Structure 1
Amino acid sequence: MMSGNKKRLNLSSVNSAGRSFGGLGVHHQRDLVQSDATWRYGKAGEGQNSVVICHDECPKFGATAVCGRRREMEDAVAIHPSLCRENSSGSRLHFFGLYDGHGCSHVAMSCKDRMHQLVKEEIENPVAVIPGDWKEAMERSFSRMDKEVIQCRDDGSAPMMNRRSCRCELQMPQCESVGSTAVVSIVTPEKVVVANCGDSRAVLSRGGKAVPLSTDHKPDLPAELQRIQGAGGRVIYWDGPRVLGVLAMSRAIGDNYLKPYVSSEPEITVTDRTEEVEFMILASDGLWDVVSNDTACDIVRMCLSNGSGRVVCPRSSSSGIMKNVFGGGENPDKACSDAAMLLTKLALARRSADNVSVVVVNLRKDNLGSSSNLTNQKVCVAGS
C-alpha cells in the first residue's frame, strides 16, 4: 500500500524518473514565480474593521523549500515584488506563488516560469478584465496556464516549455499524466487576494486567529464529488479518495488525462487588509498534512514578535540539509525566513513524507520592506 501522502498512484515509472535528492535535501529554486489558484469569491474580511490605507511597498517575506524524504523535488516557489501596478489605483501589486507538482516537476516549474506573467497580462488588460475584478483575472490566468501545459504536450511549442527549468528527465511532450497545484496571492495596499487550485493552502493570521484563505480540493468534498460525478467521472477510495482511483485532488493545472473530472478552475478569496491582519502562510501539503493551521500561525507569530528578527532557529547539524531558499542577491526578511524554516523543521520532525515548501509574508503595515531594494526585483527559488 502506498503512502497516503502520495498525490497520485504510480501507474508507470513516471515517479521514478528524474534526479534523486535523497535524505532531507533542500532545493533552491531560482526565478520564483507566483501562482494563482482556486476560485471561491468571498470577502473574508467582510464585517471586520475598515480597510487600512497603507504604503504600497512590498511586505517583508521569507521562504524555504525542502525536498524532505522524497527522492525528487517537485515543489516550486515564485515571488515577484512589485509585479505590476493596478490600473484603477496605480498601487503596486506584489506576487507570491507556490506550486506542488505530481508525476514530476514539469508543470510546477512551468507555472513558476509563466504564471506571474499571465497574471500580470490579465491585470494590465482593461479590455479583457474590468479593473478590480480579481475573479476574472485569476480565472483567465489559470485557464491560460492550463492551456499552455496542454499545448506543450501536444506540440512542444508553448512559450512555457523550458526543459532546462525542469529537474527531472521525464520526456515531454508525450507525458500527459503530470500536474501541479497552484496557490497564488496578490498583495495590494488594501487587499489580500488568494487564488487556489489543488491541495496547497493559504492561511491568514488575523486578530491572533488562523483564518483559511483557501479550500483543499479533495475528491470527496461534496461539491467536488458532485461536479466529478456530473461530468461522468468516479471517485474511488484507494489509499484515500482519488479521481478515477488515481489522483488525490480534484483540481490541478495539467493532468490532461483526467479531464474534465480534474478542473483547473481556481477558487479565489479577497480579504480586506485591516489593522488586525498580521501575516499569511502559503505552503504545500507537506506541511499541512502534519501541522495544523493554528500551530503554524502560533509559530510564525512567535518568530515575528521579535522586531529585530533575531528569533532563535536552531540549524541542522548536517551541513546543507536545511538552508534558506534565497540566494545572496535577494532581500528576504530574517524573521519571516526563520519562521518558514522553523515550520519546515517541524514538518520533518513530524515525519512528513512529502516535499515541504513554505512562504511567510508579514502583512503588518509597519513592517514593509524597502521599496528601493524591492521594486521590480524578482526573487527566485529553484533546484540546482
Structure 2
Amino acid sequence: MAGICCGVVGETEPAAPVDSTTRASLRRRLDLLPSIKIVADSAVAPPLESCRKRQKRETVLSRNLDLESNVRSEHKKVKSAVTNSNSVTEAESCFFSDVPRIGTTSVCGRRRDMEDAVSIHPSFLQRNSENLHFYGVFDGHGCSHVAEKCRERLHDIVKKEVEVMASDEWKETMVKSFQKMDKEVSQRECNLVVNGANRSMKNSCRCELQSPQCDAVGSTAVVSVVTPEKIIVSNCGDSRAVLCRNGVAIPLSVDHKPDRPDELIRIQQAGGRVIYWDGARVLGVLAMSRAIGDNYLKPYVIPDPEVTVTDRTDDDECLILASDGLWDVVPNETACGVARMCLRGAGPMDGDDSDAAAAHNACSDAALLLTKLALARQSSDNVSVVVVDLRKRRNNQSSS
C-alpha cells in the first residue's frame, strides 16, 4: 500500500491516524506563503524606494546648495573687486575730475568650462596730469590660461608702452602692446612643451593633457584705455566695444570674423583658407581671424588689433565691453538701451558720494541685467560684460 504523508506502510502495519484538521491547516499555510511573500515585498519595497528617492533628492539639493553658495561667493568676490578697484584716494582726486564708475559680471553660462577673463584697472597710469583707466575683456578658446595671462599682464605691458610714447600715437602703441603680449604667451607655451619649467603654472589647465598640442590655445582681447578726453579701443577677435552716446549705440570695434571681406583676402594672401564648418572658420578650425596665441594657425590668425580713438563728449553715457557670449544674442542697440535705463535710474552725477555710489550700483545692475538677458536668450557661450559710466561729474574740490 502506498505510503501516506510519512512514508511507506506495510500491509500488516496499521496506518497512523491522520488529523484532517492538521492537514487542512498545513495546506492553507502552504497556499498562503506566496501571498504572504507578496505582501511582505510590497510592505518593504516602498521604504527602500522612498529612501533612494530621498537620497537622490538630498544629493541634488546638496549640489544646488553648493552651486548657489559658489555663485554667491563669486558674486561677493566680484563685488568686492569692483568696489576696491573704484576706490580713489584724495591725492588722485586732486588731479582728476572724472574717475568712471564701473560694473562687471563674468559667468560660465551653458559652457562646461569658464574661459573668459576680465581686467579692471582704474587709474592704472597718470600721464600729463591725466588719469588713465584700463578695461579689458578676454574670451579664451582651447583653454583659459591665455585669457588669464592677458588679464594678469596686458595692462602692465600697455602701461610701459604708454609711458615711453612720444605723443598720442595710440595705434602704434596698442599694436606693439598686443604683439608683446602674444610673444609672452608663445614663449610661455614653448617652455611648457620643451622643458616643462613652468608646468606648475598650468596644473589646473585641461590642455596640459593635450601636449604637444597646447599651442592650439588663444584668446580674443577687447581693451579700452579711457582718458578725460579720449576713448581708445583696441580689438583683436570677436569681442566688442560699444559706446552709448545720447541714446545711440556706436560700435567702437568691428568683429574679426574669417568671412569679413578684408580678413578673407588677408588670410588667402597669406596662403590660408576659410572653410565653412558650422560657420566660417580659419582652416575649418577657428571662428575668428585674429587672436592672441593660436600659434598653430599663424600667419593666418594674427594678434594685431584694430585701434579706434574717439573723442569724449558731454553726450557720452556709457561704454560696454563684452565677449561674444553677449553680442551673439543681444544687438548693440538693445544693450545700450538696457545700460542707459539703469544709468538714468541713478539720476545725474553731481560729484556727491551718494551719487557716486548710485552710479556704481547702476553700472553693476546694467552688467547683471545684460548677462541675464544673454542667458535668457539662450546664449551658449561664457558671458562677460563691463559697463563703464562715462557721464561727466564735477570735482568736489573745485566746486567747494
d(CA) in 2 for partners of 1:67 and 1:367? 38
Q: Which residue of 2 aligns with 1:191?
A: 230
After TM superposition, the structure 1 = structure 2 runs for residues 74-153 of structure 1, keeping only pairs within 5 Å, are 74-86=115-127, 89-125=128-164, 129-153=165-189
Q: For the Cα contact (< 8 Å) 2:343–2:359, is it kept in 1?
A: no
Distance 1:32 1:130 in 2: 33
Contact 2:346-2:358 at 8 Å conserved across structures: no
SS of the residue corresponding to residue 345 of structure 2 reads: coil
User: Is contact 1:109-1:166 (8 Å) kept?
Assistant: no
Following TM superposition, by how much is the alpha carbon of 1:299 offset from its aligned partner in structure 2, in angstroms?
Answer: 0.4
> Where does residue 221 of structure 2 map in the other structure?
182
Q: Which residue number in structure 2 is paired with residue 271 of structure 1?
A: 310
Structure 1 residues 146 and 369: CA distance shift in structure 2, 3 A: farther
Partner SS for 2:286: coil
Structure 2 residue aligned with 1:227: 266
Q: How many residues align?
A: 302
Q: Do structure 1's residue 64 and structure 2's residue 105 form an aligned pair?
A: yes
Change (3 A) 1:369 1:227: farther
Instruction: Name the structure 2 match of 1:381.
Output: none
TM-fit CA distance, 1:362: 0.6
- Deviations 1:212-252, CA, capped at 9 Å, x for gaps: 00010000001000000000000000000000000000000
For residues 262 and 186 of structure 2, the distance between their equivalents in structure 1, rounded to whole angstroms, comes to: 26
Q: 1:302 aligns with which of 337, 341, 347?
A: 341
Paired position in structure 1 for 2:295 = 256
Residue number in structure 1 paired with 2:40: none
Which structure has the highest helix share of the two?
A: 2
Shift of residue 162 of structure 1? Answer: 8.9
**Equivalent position amino acid for 2:125 in 1:** C
Question: Which of 343, 350, 365 does residue 392 from structure 2 map onto?
Answer: 365
Of the candidates 341, 346, 354, which is equivalent to residue 368 of structure 2?
341
- Does 1 or 2 have the higher relative contact order (CA < 8 Å, sep 6+)? 1
| Contact 1:100 1:284 survives alignment (8 Å) | yes
User: For the aligned residues, what is the CA RMSD?
Assistant: 3.1
Superposed displacement of residue 85, structure 1: 1.4
SS at match of 1:361: strand
Q: Which segments of 5 or more consecutive residues in structure 1 lack a partner in the other structure? A: 1-21, 34-53, 310-329, 371-384
SS in 2 for 1:104: coil
**How many Å apart are 1:307 and its aligned residue?**
2.1
Deviates more, 1:161-170 or 1:189-198: 161-170
Cα distance between partner residues in 1 of 2:155 and 2:199: 16
Name the % identity: 60
Residue of structure 2 in register with 1:200 after alignment: 239
Corresponding residue for 1:350?
377
Question: Could you tell me how far apart the structure 2 residues matched to 1:56 and 1:219 are?
Answer: 42
Deviation, 1:262, is 0.2
- In the other structure, the counterpart of 1:289 is 328
Cα distance between partner residues in 1 of 2:359 and 2:285: 38
Read off the aligned partner of 2:281 and give its amino acid letter: R
Q: Secondary structure at the match of 1:170?
A: helix
- How far apart are the structure 1 equivalents of 2:204 and 2:390? 33
Change (3 A) 1:230 1:85: same
**Given the alignment of the two structures, is residue 169 of structure 1 paired with residue 209 of structure 2, yes or no?**
no
Runs of 4+, deviation exceeding 6 Å: 22-25, 28-33, 367-370
Mapped partners of 2:302, 2:264: distance in 1: 12
- 1:331 shift after superposition: 11
1-side partners of 2:81 and 2:168: how far apart?
A: 25
Amino acid of the structure 1 residue aligned with 2:170: W
3-state SS of 2:171 partner: helix
